[in-house]
Amino acid sequence: MRTARQEGHVMDNELGSIETEMKRGFLQLLVLIILEKDAYGYAMVRAFRDRGYEVEENTLYPLLRRLEKKGLIQGKWEIGEERPRKFYAVTSAGREMRDGLLAIWKKQDEIINHLTKEK
C-alpha cells in the first residue's frame, strides 16, 4: 500500500508529464503567433519570458528547425553588427496552422469555462 507521500509523488510525476505534453503544443502556437513579426531565437525566448512563460533555448531551437522543415516558418540569416543571426518568419502555411490551432484552443477554453461554471 502507498503512503500519502508516495501518492503525492506519483501525482506530481503524472502532472509533470501531462504539463510537458501541453507545453509542447502551446509553444508551437506561441511561435507561430510571435513570428508574425520576424524574430531570432533568443529574442523569442526573452519575449516569452517577459510575458511570464519560461522556455529554454534548447527547447526552442529544435522546435524552430522542425517548424522550418515543415514549411510553417522560414529562416533567413542576417549578418549584422554583432554576429550572424537567423531570423524567422511565419509562412502562409504557418498562418493557416496558427489559425487552426487558435480555433482549437478557443473551443477547448470554452468547454473548460462552461464545465467549471457548472459546478
CB 41 within 8 A of CB 5: no
- CATH (one of 3.30.1490.20, 3.40.50.2020, 1.50.10.10, 1.10.10.10) for 4-117: 1.10.10.10
Report the C-alpha gap between 87 and 35 in whole angstroms.
Answer: 9
Q: Which residue has the higher pLDDT, 80 or 97?
A: 97
Q: What radius of gyration, in Å, describes the C-alpha atoms of the chain?
A: 18
Model confidence pLDDT, tens digit, residues 14-41 = 888 898 888 889 999 999 999 999 999 9
> Which grid coordinates belong to 71?
514549411
Report the C-alpha gap between 98 and 96 in whole angstroms.
Answer: 5
Alpha-carbon separation of residue 117 from 57, 73, 107 (angstroms): 38, 38, 15
Model confidence pLDDT, tens digit, residues 83-118 = 899 999 999 999 999 999 999 999 999 999 999 998
